[in-house]
Amino acid sequence: MIQSEDVSNTQAVQLTSEPDVDIVIVGAGIIGSSVAYQIARRSQLRVLVVDKAAGPATGSTGASVAISRCRYTVPEVVRLAYRSQLAYRSWSDFTGLKDPISSYTEMGALWVFDRTVDQLAAEHERLHSNGVAVEILSRKDVLGRWPELDLCIEPIDFEAVDRHQCRQGEFFLYEVEAGIADPAGANADLIAASKREGVDVRFGIGVADVVTDKGRVVGVRLDNGDEVRCGLVVNAAGPWCNQINQMAGAQKRWTLTPTRVQLVLREWGDTDPRLPITFDGSTDGCYRMERSGEQILLVSPEIPSFMEATKNPDDFRTSPDRECVEATLAAFQHRAPGVRHVGTTTGICGLYTINEQDSHPIVGPSEIQGLWLANGFSGHGFKLAPGIGAMVARTITGAEAPYDPDIPDDLFAIDRTPLATSGGVFA
């Protein structure tokens, strides 16, 4: 059972008189499954995970760009991303699964941003001092490895593309161990590992209401009519998080907006170059190869019209707009003019829950007792998921486990001041 002394620096967590389970987690995506596994691997708490989807990775997880990288402005977030990356790199050991679905492919990440030498040196020190393998590459170094790239650092005005004049950068940051994993596979692996540890995971069952008693959340009412009493509800519902919070009257401080994000997939051939993950400071987009080598994924430029706020997460267009596809292809051609720009183009859209104030998530107790939040990841949920799960589980259980991040568990508390960011939402 959860006892109040198990929770440090937070409100007491108390059980109802006759709970059906100790914890209910709403949402079985990469965040919810990580929280479930991290709690189960370090405690005997009874955990139920419910998700209205038919299976894993049907929400934001399924539209993840799948990149693991560590360049963040806040040092604690650097360490969080780094420890999460270590988990992805050692996935079988982390999950305890002999043959997990997900695996890690190292690609390296090149940041083509407008930075002075002194600024790059400061970024290098921030990442290196927190364990990240990072280099500063000269223009000659970059073009020696990837001659197909153009190293323009001048922002592109998409309203006046014909007047754009390139300005070449001279030095660039390169994350050596950045790479990609398999979001859908990782989600399925975490669910399998959670079940092995005794977690009850139920798909096809949504939450119709949050049950309260004397101002405290004490359970959930499922859409099949069942009521589940518990000591704690964790809202990890992704783009549906606002609906759960509204049921409980919680989380009115931060603006968390489900946002349609458009991703373009372009055909890639055997003769095309093996490019690094590239973060494009001219457009705030990014590009990375698929592990098959047969496609390259292009994240659209960060233009407001390409990032559509969505009121109903169950109803949005799932294929990219033609205007967005054309702009994304043009942005990629600007960045990689030495690439053969032909081939079939497809794409997908997904919903990321953008924290409008600082692009960082809200993680930990809400202002309503009995309800905890793991919301508003702004497209960074997959990168941070193993560490986020550890933060929640460590606070609830008081127990440490391998791969835990060395950061304060209240870093993303609901009552914090906005954290620093640099670049766009995805940067």
The answer to whether residues 121 and 67 touch, using CB atoms and an 8 Å cutoff, is no
Give per-residue pLDDT as tens, 364-403.
Answer: 999 999 999 999 999 999 999 999 999 999 999 999 999 9
pLDDT of 403: 98
**Is 262 part of a structural domain of the chain?**
yes
Mean pLDDT within 357-361: 95
136 strand-pairing partners: 173
pTM recorded for the entire structure = 0.94
The answer to whether residues 106 and 177 touch, using CB atoms and an 8 Å cutoff, is yes
- Residue 305 pLDDT exceeds 50: yes
**Is 311 part of a structural domain of the chain?**
yes
Give per-residue pLDDT as tens, 207-225.
Answer: 999 999 999 999 999 999 9
C-alpha to C-alpha distance for 178 and 180, rounded to whole angstroms: 7
Domain count across the chain:
1
Mean pLDDT within 277-298: 94
The answer to whether residues 202 and 51 touch, using CB atoms and an 8 Å cutoff, is yes
299 strand-pairing partners: 263, 286
pLDDT of 426: 52
Q: What is the 3-state secondary structure (H, E, C) of the chain?
A: CCCHHHCCCCCCCCCCCCCCCCEEEECCCHHHHHHHHHHHCCCCCCEEEEECCCCCCCCHHHHCCCEECCCCCCHHHHHHHHHHHHHHHCHHHHHCCCCCCCCCEECCEEEECCCCHHHHHHHHHHHHCCCCCEEEEEHHHHHHHCCCCCCECCCCCCCCHHHCCCCECCEEEEECCCEECCHHHHHHHHHHHHHHCCCEEEECCCEEEEEEECCEEEEEEECCCCEEECCEEEECCHHHHHHHHHHHCCCCCCCEEEEEEEEEEEECCCCCCCCCEEEECCCCEEEEECCCCCEEEEECCCCHHHCEECCCCCCCCCCCCHHHHHHHHHHHHHHCCCCCCCCCEEEEEEEEEEECCCCCCEEEECCCCCEEEEECCCCCHHHHHHHHHHHHHHHHHCCCCCCCCCCCCCCCCCCCCCCCCCCCCCC
> How many Cβ atoms from other residues are within 10 Å of residue 280's Cβ?
26
For the chain, what percent of residues have pLDDT higher than 70?
Answer: 95
Give per-residue pLDDT as tens, 94-153.
Answer: 999 999 999 999 999 999 999 999 999 999 999 999 999 999 999 999 999 999 999 999
The answer to whether residues 47 and 36 touch, using CB atoms and an 8 Å cutoff, is yes
Mean pLDDT score of the chain, rounded to an integer?
A: 93
CATH of the domain at 341: 3.30.9.10
pLDDT of 423: 55
**Is 119 part of a structural domain of the chain?**
yes
**Is 292 part of a structural domain of the chain?**
yes
- Residue 13 pLDDT exceeds 50: no
Q: Which two tokens stand for residue 209?
A: 């209401």
The answer to whether residues 373 and 245 touch, using CB atoms and an 8 Å cutoff, is yes
Tell me whether residue 183 is exposed, middle or buried, using C-beta atoms within 10 angstroms of its C-beta: 0 to 12, 13 to 18, 19 or more: buried
420 or 80, which is more confident?
80
Give per-residue pLDDT as tens, 325-354.
Answer: 999 999 999 999 999 888 899 999 999 999
Residue 395 main-chain phi, psi, to 5 deg: -70, -40
Give per-residue pLDDT as tens, 161-182.
Answer: 889 999 999 999 999 999 999 9
Confidence of residue 2 (pLDDT cuts 50, 70, 90): very low
Q: Quick one: how far is CA 426 from the chain centroid? A: 10
The answer to whether residues 218 and 110 touch, using CB atoms and an 8 Å cutoff, is no
**Is 214 part of a structural domain of the chain?**
no
**Is 350 part of a structural domain of the chain?**
yes
**Is 159 part of a structural domain of the chain?**
yes
Query: How far is CA 296 from each of CA 63, 131, 292, 320, 343, rounded to the nearest angstrom?
Result: 15, 29, 9, 15, 11
pLDDT of 107: 97
pLDDT of 61: 87
Which domain covers residue 328, as residue numbers? 107-178+256-355
Mean pLDDT within 18-36: 96
- Residue 17 pLDDT exceeds 70: no
**Is 335 part of a structural domain of the chain?**
yes
pLDDT of 37: 98
- Residue 5 pLDDT exceeds 80: no
Give the contacts of 232 (CB within 8 A, at least 6 positions apart): 2, 13, 22, 23, 24, 217, 370, 371, 372, 396
pLDDT of 280: 96
